[in-house]
Chains A and B, each alone.
Chain A
Amino acid sequence: EPEVTQTPSHQVTQMGQEVILRCVPISNHLYFYWYRQILGQKVEFLVSFYNNEISEKSEIFDDQFSVERPDGSNFTLKIRSTKLEDSAMYFCATTLAGGYEQYFGPGTRLTVT
């Protein structure tokens, strides 16, 4: 069964550095999402993306965050200047179309020191 993949599985970075988290969606999926989960807290929606543009974003998704699909396959989340509070698990999810089941990736654990 096809799966969403994410790389890296764990990223350690210093405060102020830029990080790029990568997601490879299931091949025919058209809608993409990023979520984060700070340790011990709830899964929080960050952003949704369809047809090469952001559909909706949360209050967390400020100017430090950006998403793109640079080559038609990878879906990336960039954090320009990481802060300690960005430490979390970041999950990518994809779906065939609106209203269909979301398939989640295994997550990337980001640790900002």
Chain B
Amino acid sequence: AQRVTQPEKLLSVFKGAPVELKCNYSYSGSPELFWYVQYSRQRLQLLLRHISRESIKGFTADLNKGETSFHLKKPFAQEEDSAMYYCALTYNFNKFYFGSGTKLNVKP
């Protein structure tokens, strides 16, 4: 069963524009949701998790249980935000489900 869906493979925006990377999930319980980022030639790293409710590098994500979504947002994109972004879910921290990723391209 598809657990995590990221509908956009590629998202291109201009510097300073708002950006929203979509993530929808399918799970009936109370999962933990995460956003991971992979900059060019670097390893996957955690960007943020819903439980911490913090803003990292200007990004925020709110868990919407009604819409089963965990979209990642930033009001003003920067060129250094260009990267692959992966939404991920776990229900027990033993097994994780990743989305297929969205490549964000921020144009100057």
Min distance, Cβ A91 to any Cβ of chain B, angstroms: 7
Q: Does B26 contact A (CB under 8 A)?
A: no
When the two chains form their complex, are residues B86 and A43 in contact, meaning their CB atoms are under 8 A apart? Answer: yes
A-side interface mostly: strand
Q: Does A48 contact B (CB under 8 A)?
A: yes
CA distance A101 to B35 in the complex (A): 11
Interface residues on A, range: 20 to 34
When the two chains form their complex, are residues B96 and A33 in contact, meaning their CB atoms are under 8 A apart? Answer: yes
CA distance A31 to B96 in the complex (A): 13
When the two chains form their complex, are residues B43 and A106 in contact, meaning their CB atoms are under 8 A apart? Answer: yes
Min distance, Cβ A29 to any Cβ of chain B, angstroms: 13
When the two chains form their complex, are residues A102 and B46 in contact, meaning their CB atoms are under 8 A apart? Answer: yes
CA distance A44 to B98 in the complex (A): 7
Check A45/B93 contact, CB under 8 A, given A101-B46, A104-B44, A105-B43.
Answer: no
CA distance A107 to B93 in the complex (A): 21
CA distance A95 to B94 in the complex (A): 11
Min distance, Cβ A45 to any Cβ of chain B, angstroms: 5
Check A55/B86 contact, CB under 8 A, given A42-B101, A104-B43, A106-B43.
Answer: no
Closest to A33 in B: B96
Q: Does B100 contact A (CB under 8 A)?
A: yes
List A residues at the B interface (Cβ < 8 Å).
4, 31, 33, 35, 41-45, 48, 50, 55-56, 58, 91, 93, 95, 98-99, 101-107
The 7 closest A-B pairs by CB, nearest first: A43-B98, A56-B94, A42-B100, A104-B44, A98-B93, A55-B94, A56-B95
